[in-house]
A and B are shown apart, each in its own frame.
Chain A
Amino acid sequence: MQIFRGRGKESTGALRTEEMKALAGVDAVQLATLASLLSGEKDTNGVLDKALNWLHKNAGSRAVVCYRYDEAGHTLSNPMSAGNAPTDLPPSIRVGQTVYGDVARDRVPIFANNLDRDPRFGPKAENAISAYVFPIVHQQALYAIIAAQSEHDLSQEQIALIKSATPIIASVMGLTQQLYDARRAQLTFDRLQSLAQRLTTQLETGQLLQDVVNAGREMLDTDISILLNLNEQLGELHPVAWSGIQDETAKLFRVRSRDDIKGLVAWAKKPARSSDLRTDQRTGTVSFAETAGMISEMAVPVMYGDILLGILAVEAKTFRRFTDPEMELLQSLASHAGVAMRNAQLFEDLRTVNRKMERAVADTTIARQQAENARIAAVEATRLKTEFINNMSHELRTPLNTIINFTRIMSDGHTGEVTEQQGQYLGFVRESGEHLLGLINDILDMAKIEAGRMEIRKEFTSIEPILRGVMSTAVGLTRENNLSLKLNIPADLPNVEIDTRRIRQVLLNLVSNAAKFTQKGSLTLGAERRKNQIVVYVKDTGIGIKPEDLDKVFEEFRQIDGSLAREQTGTGLGMPISKKFIELHGGEMWIQSQFGVGTTVYFSLPVLVQQSSQQMVGQQTGQSNATATSEFPAAEASESDITPDTTPDAAAV
């Protein structure tokens, strides 16, 4: 057995003389034909195919076998052949295995003969006894290993021809690869540009991810492109967009283990590529891609920051050495997908928030609608109540007109003499009628106040004449109990803006209440200035109010529960109405009382502080001073006692 293994310079040196002779005989035309033949190919596989055929025909090779070098897997794979090559070529040969593997490792050609007896030579064509095995290297890159095999010993001329062809094949391979890369780079650039445009304008995530996948398949010229999403709960990857796969197949596809390039990428969060899945030691027996007839694959993780969102993979039916720029391209696409998937996630979150907000808004709208309905119902209820009260008022007033006035006509003697008892009874009928009328009036006032329709006609005036007028009325009210009446008005009481009729109504109510609940002692009506308001009070020495009952005084239809109070007539509306009137003037009403000792009801009225009113105050004060001294000599501190006899006629009020 003679195996000549050319190693380095020693082997080439031994052959030099013979080689030189052989090289001299190399047909330049043949080599030129090879160069033009190869340069027409678009990819390296095509170049190799042409080169193998040329070697078979021109270099006396019975068979030519070629293996591509897979850098990533560090193996020889993707066997190709020309001539009578064995049909059962092993799919891959590891570097260092067999003579082919030695050449791949050392990148130095080997001439071998007596192949029959060389166990390390293979794959070997039938009947081949010699072979020239050489690497295709261009610019330090190993592309392939070619083994030209012959049934005879290869001649020096044949070997010389192969040697001359080798750099041509290598350079065309290299150039083709570079051209291919350049073309792809240009294509990639163009497509990246248009993709970037599409991605920035594409708002629909599903379509955007499909664009990414389509771009991956087109730009990397692969058969399949697929984007998988990581479902963390299930711990599996499932497809979200794909190209080159039947939808039915894609939808069922899941990646769960590391037994697959995709799984490996997801696990390591690092890109991976395989030029030949059939021989790749990292993957399991049969990967999904292999089942689908794919040979090469490249996959990159789709990340958002440190978070793995999924993976993007491209697969080809052919042996493919995915280059670094190609991987960078796929990573660039993956980063687009990452942003899109992240956005989709955020958008989904936002949509959830939106839905919640919409629901909240809807709830608010319903609540508002309900509130509006309630308001409408309340307005309608108020309207019906007002209508009812108005009707009731009309229906009661009509008979009261005859009751009150006919009794007056009769008791005045217009229908003839009445006896004392008849006169007394007619008086009772009239008083009862007037009480009923008072009740109706109070109810009308309350209804008006509640409906916000109580009008106050204010005028800028002194309250003093009103106080004096009410005092005169009080004389009549207190005559029975012989109460001592006091009026206490200071000289400098400023003018106020009041509805004189309403204030008089309030004061009459307070005074009549005080008279009603006071059996003995005194009743005082007074006023004083306190800062920007005047405070008017009605003070009695009556039964008083228990502290727990004080708040009830201003409640509607409420009379304090007491034996004396129950004997007293009244609508129970007087105090609440009075309080409302004072509040409509911008004032307040309050009560101080000591049970068994007496009660004082106060109300305040705001004093307008402005130049004109100050002047008016001065004028009015002067007048009232004069009046006060003449009629009721009430000084600021002293209270003046008046007796019923000295007061003017009550009817004049």
Chain B
Amino acid sequence: MTVPPAKPDAIILLVEDDRRNSELTRVMLKIAGYNNMIYAESGKDVARVVEPYAHIDLVLCDIQMPGEDGYQLYERLRRMPQLQNTPIIAVTALVMPDDVTRVEEAGFNGFMGKPFNFDRFGGQIGRILAGESVWEAR
């Protein structure tokens, strides 16, 4: 993990229903140098979690979630004032080409398949924050 963080202070929102995976993401972001991860367990929590912040720098959003799924949530996220011009990345274990296509068609700005590649994870986040596009299914 030698890649230095692109924006160490970046506010990164994770929407993820699996607590173990959210904890993993938090730890991996921390190892990569990003300490400001905020976390919503479902779409319902997003507004409450985002409320204190003026701007969110990056959203990592799971796709398969109970209730409101990632595709539906994307529409709501996009309309939030704090998420104007914010890259919204799908983080999902649905990695078939159809899934990637659907994510792209829904409007997401990137794709990171699970399991994450530990060695590349930090670099991917850094590239996204630098305005690059990342589409890595597996």
Contact = CB atoms under 8 A, between A and B. Distances in A.
Contacts of A399: 20
A591 interface: no
A390 B98 CA distance: 10
Given A409-B31, A414-B31, A394 B24 contact: no
Contacts of A405: 24, 28, 115-116, 118
Interface in A411-450: 414, 433, 437, 441, 444, 448
Contact of A651 (B114, B116, B119): B119
B31 A397 contact: no
Given A390-B94, A393-B96, A453-B97, A398 B119 contact: no
Nearest to B114: A401
A413 B73 CA distance: 36
A121 interface: no
- Secondary structure of the B contact surface, majority rule: mixed
Contacts of A409: 24, 27-28, 31, 118
Contacts of A395: 93
A517 interface: no
Interface string B100-111: 000000000000
A394 B94 contact: yes
B85 interface: no
A493 B135 CA distance: 33
A400 B27 CA distance: 16
Interface in B57-95: 64, 92-95
Most buried by A among B24, B114, B116: B114
Nearest to B91: A401
Contacts of B93: 393-398, 401
Contacts of A406: 24, 27
Nearest to B138: A441
B36 interface: no
Nearest to B23: A402
Interface in A240-261: none
A393 B18 CA distance: 16
Contacts of B99: 390
Most buried by B among A402, A433, A651: A402
Contact of B96 (A396, A400, A444): A444
A402 B20 contact: yes
Given A390-B94, A402-B21, A397 B114 contact: yes
B21 A401 contact: yes
Nearest to A453: B97
A408 B24 CA distance: 11
Contacts of B95: 393, 397, 444
Contacts of B118: 404-405, 408-409
Nearest to B115: A401
Nearest to A390: B96
A401 B96 contact: no
Given A402-B20, A405-B28, A414-B27, A437 B96 contact: no
Interface of A: 390, 393-402, 404-406, 408-409, 414, 433, 437, 441, 444, 448, 453, 455, 651
17 contacts: A390-B96, A394-B93, A394-B94, A397-B95, A397-B114, A397-B115, A398-B114, A400-B114, A400-B115, A401-B116, A405-B24, A409-B28, A409-B118, A433-B115, A444-B96, A455-B97, A651-B119
Nearest 6 Cβ contacts at the A-B interface:
A397-B93, A401-B115, A401-B114, A394-B93, A398-B93, A408-B118
